[in-house]
Amino acid sequence: SATKNRKIMSAKGYFGYLKNMLHVINSTPTEYVKGVKVKCKEKIPLKGDEIRSIIDACKNKRNKALVMLLAATGLRIEEAVSLTYEKYINRINNVIVITGKGDKNRFIGLAPEVCEYIDDYIENERKGTTEYLFESTQDSKVRPRAFLDTLKLTCKKAGLINWKDISPHWLRTTFATMQVENGTPLEVVQKQLGHSNISTTLRYAKIADSRATEAMSIVNF
- What's 101's DSSP letter? G
Segment 145-153 long-range contacts (CB within 8 Å, at least 24 positions apart): 147/63, 147/66, 147/77, 147/81, 148/77, 150/63, 151/54, 151/67
Identify the three-state secondary structure at position 102. Answer: helix
Which of 46, 78, 201 minimizes the C-alpha distance to 144? 78
Between the alpha carbon of residue 102 and those of residues 46, 55, 124, the distances in Å are: 28, 30, 35
Give CA angle at 169 (211, 130), nearest 5°: 140
The Cα–Cα gap between 126 and 70 comes to: 18
Give CA angle at 36 (33, 37), nearest 5°: 150
Residues noted as catalytic:
76, 101, 169, 172, 195, 204
Q: Where are the alpha helices (DSSP H) in 82-143?
A: 85-89, 112-124
